[in-house]
Amino acid sequence: MRSFLPAVAEQLFQDIQQTYHDTSQIPDDLLIALKFVFGSCAVPALDLVDQRSVICLSSPSGRQAFQVLGSSGRLYVCFLSCHFCPCPAFSYTVLWRTEGLLCKHILAVYLSQAMAVTLQESVSDQQMSVLLSGTGGL
């Protein structure tokens, strides 16, 4: 699912998953690695996870999207399947300047999944189609 991320990022998420499952904490060495790999978006992403701002929307057809309530109060719909977030930071930093791997919203999705704290919500296939078409939110 995350084949577009560097192997070091993949390993980091696996290490976080293992240690968080065992201890309900992320050790300092992994926090430092997060900051090193993901730069300035690491701490804000962790803050979004702490606030339980990530919701996984799943439809009966198996499609998934993630809603992330940003620090500004805006709701962003992120898609890991195509590595996309509509926030300005993603467009500027990741797509335009290619200075980062991802924005804080997508990193928050990966972290909340690794830590198994993602909120889950079922939606109909019709609701998911509307969400995927970009013609409205849920």
Confidence grade of residue 132 (pLDDT, cut at 50, 70, 90) = confident
The domain limits of the chain are 7-122
pTM above 0.85, yes or no: yes
Predicted confidence at residue 2, as pLDDT, reads: 45
Complete DSSP assignment for 28-92: HHHHHHHHHHHGGGHHHHHHHHHTT-EEEEE-TTS-EEEEEE-TTS-EEEEBTTTTB--SHHIII
What pLDDT, in 10s, does the model give residues 34-81?
999 999 999 999 999 999 999 999 999 999 999 999 989 999 999 887
Residue 132, SS3 per DSSP: helix
- Asked whether 72 and 87 are in contact (CB, 8 A), the reply is no
Separation of CA 86 from chain center = 12
